[in-house]
């Protein structure tokens, strides 16, 4: 079969890899000039490795992406970096059951209660029994309001903003169940891994058309799919496809395919999501003390949600011995930061950054800002009943994206897993 794929992120590239193994002819259309999608990186001339625009790591339990890495021969490295929480002006390491049991801000009874709740979630395997509850209500009831408000409400707020009360307990369960303190990172960064995968796919015979923003997908008189870049030319001249796979967010799909039924388009548009803004500071000095990699900011007065010192995870020798710090935020796409300049945002962040490290400003070598309007789906209760299947109402047209990943939290590992499932669904039809 001739198969067209929209998007050279990890879902699109993995689908292509699987389809090629079965002998199909694949063409991928990607709007950017490089592969990688949301895991895309950038590189200063003096760096050996690229850095993700938005912080990325995998967990050592992420089997799907690791299997793919083995297949294409790309190494991953593992570390156990320090994850801490910033509470009442103090950075407290909280990345193991022992650390939780000695956490001074909770009474002994509260620590034991919280440990029992987390232990229970780690133990149960049926998320279906949990998805009708919101994490907010269930956790307050089980672990008590004080512990929840101190540690877990900030996490939910940081990921979901004003939607934090609506998030399904199944999503929270998945984080506790599947995550490990040991983290993985691909050699050269995720960009390098994406290049390797794109190269492997091309070596197997696929065509990747970069700088190809697809505007419309139509069908000709024979039912074959035709890709239109909106400039009057077909992205791959004269090419038609027996199957079309789209890996963009749902709202983009609704606009790409005019022939989809109105009801289905309405459904696509009903999925909510939140955006992300990440600032990257390249520094001559380390920012966070005690080798902290990830610092959750559990203080609502701060204008950012996490500080992530990448070079406390990956050796700074790959970045010209400079220190790399992310200042992370998940925000509604209507937030004013989306229309503000990097300088204006840094000006707002500055007093808070200076509270944590008073001397950081004099060590800034460069700064970057990356904004993405859709970074995280809002996973509400009973989300399983909402998730759309790969098949669409149009025969031969399939979709896969972050909005289908459930109960697991979206991530490159699941993009790979869903990419494989998408390929199987497409062949089966
Ligand atoms: C802030 C942030 C932090 C994250 N942290 C992690 C992490 O630590 N670990 C982890 O594993 N994952 C993380 N993720 C998630 C991870 O990046 C995604 O789950 C994964 O990359 C999604 O891959 P995808 O292929 O499904 O989608 P995408 O990466 O979105 O790929 C879709 C592709 O389609 C292309 N496209 C869209 N519209 C068109 C069009 N009209 N024409 C042509 N091409 C088009 C896009 O350019 C893109 O390349 C993070 C994401 C964000 C935003």
Mean pLDDT along residues 401-416:
96
Residue whose pair of structure tokens reads 């070598």 in the numeric block = 365
Nearest CA residue ID for atom 19, ligand 1: 411
Mean pLDDT along residues 369-374:
97
Does residue 312 fall inside a structural domain?
no
Does residue 151 fall inside a structural domain?
yes
111 and 137 in a single domain? The answer is yes
Q: Are 292 and 54 in contact (CB under 8 A)?
A: no
pLDDT digits (tens, 9 = 90+) for 257-309: 999 999 999 999 999 999 999 999 999 999 999 999 999 999 989 999 999 99
pLDDT digits (tens, 9 = 90+) for 129-162: 999 999 999 999 999 999 999 989 988 988 898 8
3 contacts: CB under 8 Å, gap ≥ 6: 19, 24, 25, 26, 27, 241, 242, 243, 244, 245, 426
Token representation of residue 257: 């395919």
**How do beta strands 82-87 and 292-297 pair?**
parallel
168 and 45 in a single domain? The answer is no
**For position 261, which CATH number holds?**
3.50.50.60
Mean pLDDT along residues 201-207:
97
125 and 169 in a single domain? The answer is yes
- Residue after which a domain boundary falls, among 178, 213, 244: 178
Mean pLDDT along residues 74-89:
94
33 and 165 in a single domain? The answer is no
212 and 163 in a single domain? The answer is no
The C-alpha atoms of residue 88 and residue 161 are separated, in whole angstroms, by 20
Nearest CA residue ID for atom 29, ligand 1: 37
pLDDT interval class at 95 (50, 70, 90): confident
Nearest CA residue ID for atom 52, ligand 1: 375
252 and 400 in a single domain? The answer is yes
Is residue 216 lining ligand 1, measured as CB closer than 6 Å? no
CA distances 197 to 7, 188, 192, 295, 357, Å, are: 13, 13, 9, 31, 39
Is residue 417 lining ligand 1, measured as CB closer than 6 Å? no
Token representation of residue 350: 């500055």
134 and 159 in a single domain? The answer is yes
99 CA distance to ligand 1 middle (Å): 33
9 CA distance to ligand 1 middle (Å): 6
Specify the pTM: 0.95
129 and 266 in a single domain? The answer is no
416 CA distance to ligand 1 middle (Å): 11
Does residue 136 fall inside a structural domain?
yes
Average pLDDT of the chain is: 94
pLDDT interval class at 365 (50, 70, 90): very high
Is residue 10 lining ligand 1, measured as CB closer than 6 Å? yes
Is residue 248 lining ligand 1, measured as CB closer than 6 Å? yes
- DSSP-derived 3-state class of residue 246: strand
- With a pLDDT cut of 70, the percent of the chain lying above it is 98
Choosing from 13, 38, 161, 258 the residue with most ligand 1 atoms within 8 A of its CB, the one to mutate for a pocket test is 38
Q: Is 301 exposed, middle or buried (0-12, 13-18, 19+ CB in 10 A)?
A: exposed
37 and 171 in a single domain? The answer is no
Token representation of residue 5: 């794929």
The C-alpha atoms of residue 405 and residue 64 are separated, in whole angstroms, by 14
Does residue 316 fall inside a structural domain?
no
Ligand 1 atom showing the smallest separation from residue 413 Cα: 11
- Residue after which a domain boundary falls, among 152, 178, 204: 178
Does residue 59 fall inside a structural domain?
no
Does residue 309 fall inside a structural domain?
no
- Give the domain range for residue 249: 2-50+191-271+386-428
pLDDT digits (tens, 9 = 90+) for 208-267: 999 999 999 999 888 899 998 866 555 555 689 999 999 999 999 999 999 999 999 999
Overall domain count for the chain: 2
Is residue 30 lining ligand 1, measured as CB closer than 6 Å? yes
Does residue 282 fall inside a structural domain?
no
| Per-residue pLDDT at 331 exceeds 70 | yes
127 and 158 in a single domain? The answer is yes
220 CA distance to ligand 1 middle (Å): 30
48 contacts: CB under 8 Å, gap ≥ 6: 317, 318, 319
174 and 200 in a single domain? The answer is no
39 CA distance to ligand 1 middle (Å): 6
pLDDT digits (tens, 9 = 90+) for 332-352: 999 999 999 999 999 999 999
The C-alpha atoms of residue 7 and residue 5 are separated, in whole angstroms, by 6
Does residue 375 fall inside a structural domain?
no
Is residue 4 lining ligand 1, measured as CB closer than 6 Å? no
256 CA distance to ligand 1 middle (Å): 18
- Residue after which a domain boundary falls, among 178, 208, 237: 178
pLDDT recorded at residue 234: 57
Residue whose pair of structure tokens reads 């200063």 in the numeric block = 44
| Per-residue pLDDT at 112 exceeds 90 | yes
264 and 402 in a single domain? The answer is yes
pLDDT recorded at residue 161: 84
pLDDT digits (tens, 9 = 90+) for 306-321: 999 999 999 999 999 9
Is residue 401 lining ligand 1, measured as CB closer than 6 Å? yes
């Amino acid at each position: 079969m001739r198969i067209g794929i929209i998007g050279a992120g990890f879902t699109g590239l993995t689908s292509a890899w699987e389809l090629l193994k079965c002998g199909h002819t694949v063409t991928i259309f990607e709007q950017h000039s490089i592969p990688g999608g949301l895991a895309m990186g950038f590189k200063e001339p003096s760096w050996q490795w690229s850095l993700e625009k938005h912080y990325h790591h995998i967990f050592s339990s992420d089997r799907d992406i690791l299997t793919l890495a083995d297949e294409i021969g790309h190494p991953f490295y593992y570390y156990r970096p320090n994850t801490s929480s910033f509470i009442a002006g103090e950075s407290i390491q909280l990345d193991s059951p022992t650390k939780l049991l000695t956490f001074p801000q909770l009474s002994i009874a509260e620590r034991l209660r919280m440990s029992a709740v987390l232990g229970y979630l780690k133990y149960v395997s049926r998320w279906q029994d949990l998805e009708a509850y919101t994490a907010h209500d269930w956790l307050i009831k089980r672990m008590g309001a004080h512990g929840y408000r101190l540690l877990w409400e900030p996490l939910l707020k940081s990921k979901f903003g004003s939607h934090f009360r609506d998030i399904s307990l199944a999503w929270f369960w998945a984080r506790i169940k599947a995550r490990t303190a040991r983290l993985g990172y691909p050699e050269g960064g995720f960009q390098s891994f994406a290049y390797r995968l794109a190269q492997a796919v091309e070596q197997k015979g696929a065509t990747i058309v970069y700088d190809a923003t697809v505007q419309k997908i139509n069908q000709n008189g024979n039912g074959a799919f035709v890709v239109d870049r909106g400039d009057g030319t077909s992205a791959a001249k004269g090419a038609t496809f027996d199957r079309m796979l789209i890996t963009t967010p749902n709202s983009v799909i609704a606009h790409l395919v005019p022939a989809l039924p109105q009801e289905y388009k309405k459904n696509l548009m009903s999925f909510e999501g939140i955006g992300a803004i990440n600032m990257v500071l390249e520094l001559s000095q380390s920012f966070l003390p005690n080798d902290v990699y990830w610092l959750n900011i559990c203080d609502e007065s701060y204008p950012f949600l996490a500080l992530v010192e990448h070079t406390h995870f990956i050796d700074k020798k790959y970045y010209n011995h400079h220190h790399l710090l992310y200042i992370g935020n998940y925000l509604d796409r209507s937030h004013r930061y989306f229309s503000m300049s990097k300088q204006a945002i840094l000006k707002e962040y500055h007093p808070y950054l200076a509270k944590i490290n008073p001397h950081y400003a004099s060590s800034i070598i460069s700064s970057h800002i990356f904004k993405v309007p859709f970074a995280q789906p809002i996973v509400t209760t009973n989300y399983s009943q909402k998730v759309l299947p790969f098949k669409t109402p149009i025969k031969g047209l399939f979709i896969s994206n972050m909005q289908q990943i459930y109960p697991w939290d979206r991530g490159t590992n699941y993009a790979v897993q869903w990419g494989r499932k998408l390929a199987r669904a497409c062949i089966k039809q």
